[in-house]
Protein backbone atom coordinates (compact mmCIF):
# COMPACT_ATOMS: atom_id res chain seq x y z
CA UNK A 1 0.00 0.00 0.00
CA UNK A 2 2.74 2.49 0.89
CA UNK A 3 4.65 1.64 -2.33
CA UNK A 4 1.59 2.57 -4.39
CA UNK A 5 1.20 5.85 -2.51
CA UNK A 6 4.88 6.75 -2.99
CA UNK A 7 4.77 5.81 -6.67
CA UNK A 8 1.58 7.80 -7.20
CA UNK A 9 3.07 10.81 -5.39
CA UNK A 10 6.28 10.64 -7.44
CA UNK A 11 4.32 10.29 -10.70
CA UNK A 12 2.08 13.23 -9.75
CA UNK A 13 5.14 15.30 -8.91
CA UNK A 14 6.80 14.49 -12.23
CA UNK A 15 3.59 15.23 -14.14
CA UNK A 16 3.13 18.54 -12.34
CA UNK A 17 6.74 19.52 -12.98
CA UNK A 18 6.43 18.60 -16.66
CA UNK A 19 3.27 20.67 -17.08
CA UNK A 20 4.81 23.67 -15.31
CA UNK A 21 8.09 23.45 -17.24
CA UNK A 22 6.35 23.08 -20.60
CA UNK A 23 4.44 26.32 -20.07
CA UNK A 24 7.06 28.40 -18.26
CA UNK A 25 6.54 32.14 -18.42
CA UNK A 26 10.27 32.88 -18.48
CA UNK A 27 13.28 31.12 -19.96
CA UNK A 28 17.01 31.59 -19.65
CA UNK A 29 18.77 31.88 -23.00
CA UNK A 30 22.05 33.46 -24.10
CA UNK A 31 22.85 34.32 -20.50
CA UNK A 32 19.69 36.39 -19.99
CA UNK A 33 16.22 35.90 -18.60
CA UNK A 34 13.41 36.25 -21.15
CA UNK A 35 9.68 36.74 -20.53
CA UNK A 36 7.40 34.77 -22.87
CA UNK A 37 4.22 36.26 -24.26
CA UNK A 38 1.01 34.46 -23.38
CA UNK A 39 -2.11 35.72 -25.13
CA UNK A 40 -2.49 38.89 -27.18
CA UNK A 41 0.49 40.18 -29.15
CA UNK A 42 1.05 42.13 -32.37
CA UNK A 43 -0.27 40.37 -35.45
CA UNK A 44 -3.16 37.96 -35.77
CA UNK A 45 -1.87 35.04 -33.68
CA UNK A 46 -1.80 34.86 -29.89
CA UNK A 47 1.44 34.17 -28.07
CA UNK A 48 1.87 30.71 -26.57
CA UNK A 49 4.89 30.01 -24.33
CA UNK A 50 4.85 26.38 -25.56
CA UNK A 51 6.01 27.69 -28.96
CA UNK A 52 9.36 28.81 -27.52
CA UNK A 53 11.97 26.12 -26.95
CA UNK A 54 15.71 25.97 -26.42
CA UNK A 55 17.44 22.85 -27.70
CA UNK A 56 20.39 20.93 -26.22
CA UNK A 57 22.81 23.09 -28.25
CA UNK A 58 21.40 26.32 -26.81
CA UNK A 59 19.58 27.35 -30.00
CA UNK A 60 16.32 29.24 -29.57
CA UNK A 61 13.37 27.95 -31.61
CA UNK A 62 10.26 30.06 -32.24
CA UNK A 63 7.29 28.24 -33.75
CA UNK A 64 3.97 29.17 -35.30
CA UNK A 65 1.44 26.41 -34.66
CA UNK A 66 -2.09 25.69 -35.87
CA UNK A 67 -4.15 23.53 -33.55
CA UNK A 68 -7.91 23.01 -33.83
CA UNK A 69 -8.13 25.80 -36.41
CA UNK A 70 -6.44 28.35 -34.13
CA UNK A 71 -2.97 29.81 -34.77
CA UNK A 72 -0.48 30.63 -32.02
CA UNK A 73 2.99 32.10 -32.33
CA UNK A 74 6.03 32.94 -30.20
CA UNK A 75 7.28 36.19 -28.71
CA UNK A 76 9.79 36.96 -25.96
CA UNK A 77 11.44 39.97 -24.30
CA UNK A 78 14.45 40.35 -22.02
CA UNK A 79 13.52 40.95 -18.40
CA UNK A 80 16.27 43.54 -18.02
CA UNK A 81 16.78 46.92 -19.64
CA UNK A 82 19.82 46.63 -21.90
CA UNK A 83 19.90 50.37 -22.69
CA UNK A 84 22.04 51.76 -25.50
CA UNK A 85 24.59 49.59 -27.28
CA UNK A 86 25.25 47.42 -30.28
CA UNK A 87 22.96 44.42 -30.65
CA UNK A 88 23.21 41.60 -33.15
CA UNK A 89 20.79 38.86 -34.14
CA UNK A 90 21.89 35.76 -35.99
CA UNK A 91 19.07 33.95 -37.74
CA UNK A 92 19.91 30.46 -38.96
CA UNK A 93 17.66 28.81 -41.46
CA UNK A 94 16.25 29.55 -44.86
CA UNK A 95 14.33 32.81 -44.55
CA UNK A 96 13.40 32.40 -48.22
CA UNK A 97 11.33 29.34 -47.29
CA UNK A 98 9.19 31.16 -44.71
CA UNK A 99 5.43 30.95 -45.08
CA UNK A 100 4.14 33.90 -47.14
CA UNK A 101 2.21 35.31 -44.19
CA UNK A 102 5.13 35.20 -41.76
CA UNK A 103 7.14 38.20 -40.64
CA UNK A 104 10.06 37.96 -38.23
CA UNK A 105 10.54 41.18 -36.27
CA UNK A 106 13.63 41.86 -34.15
CA UNK A 107 13.38 44.99 -32.03
CA UNK A 108 15.50 46.87 -29.50
CA UNK A 109 12.44 47.92 -27.52
CA UNK A 110 9.58 46.17 -25.85
CA UNK A 111 6.70 46.35 -23.41
CA UNK A 112 8.56 44.78 -20.49
CA UNK A 113 10.37 48.04 -19.72
CA UNK A 114 8.01 50.35 -21.62
CA UNK A 115 10.86 51.19 -23.97
CA UNK A 116 10.01 52.84 -27.27
CA UNK A 117 7.11 52.38 -29.61
CA UNK A 118 6.89 51.45 -33.27
CA UNK A 119 9.59 53.23 -35.32
CA UNK A 120 11.10 55.00 -32.30
CA UNK A 121 14.05 52.66 -32.02
CA UNK A 122 15.91 50.35 -34.34
CA UNK A 123 13.82 47.76 -36.14
CA UNK A 124 14.65 44.80 -38.34
CA UNK A 125 11.77 43.10 -40.17
CA UNK A 126 12.17 40.10 -42.45
CA UNK A 127 9.19 39.47 -44.72
CA UNK A 128 8.69 36.34 -46.78
CA UNK A 129 9.60 36.58 -50.49
CA UNK A 130 6.13 35.37 -51.51
CA UNK A 131 4.58 38.21 -49.52
CA UNK A 132 6.76 40.88 -51.13
CA UNK A 133 6.49 42.62 -54.48
CA UNK A 134 8.21 40.80 -57.34
CA UNK A 135 8.81 37.74 -55.11
CA UNK A 136 11.91 39.22 -53.47
CA UNK A 137 12.74 39.04 -49.79
CA UNK A 138 12.61 42.45 -48.22
CA UNK A 139 14.86 43.30 -45.31
CA UNK A 140 13.88 46.62 -43.81
CA UNK A 141 15.51 48.48 -41.00
CA UNK A 142 14.89 51.85 -39.46
CA UNK A 143 17.13 53.67 -37.04
CA UNK A 144 16.45 56.91 -35.26
CA UNK A 145 19.10 58.86 -33.37
Tens of pLDDT, residue by residue over 104-113, are 777 766 555 4
The answer to whether the beta carbons of residues 45 and 63 sit under 8 Å apart is no
Indicate the pLDDT class of residue 133, thresholds 50, 70 and 90: low
Query: Whole-angstrom Cα distance, residue 136 to residue 128?
Result: 8
Alpha carbon 99 to its chain's center = 17
State residue 91's pLDDT score. Answer: 82
Sorted by where each begins, the domain ranges of the chain are: 25-79, 81-145
pTM over 0.85: no
Amino acid sequence: MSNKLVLQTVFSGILLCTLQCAHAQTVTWAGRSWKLTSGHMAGVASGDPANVTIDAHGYLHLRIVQQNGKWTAAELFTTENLSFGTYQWIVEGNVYAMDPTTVLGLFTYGPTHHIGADAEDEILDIASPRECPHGKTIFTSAAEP
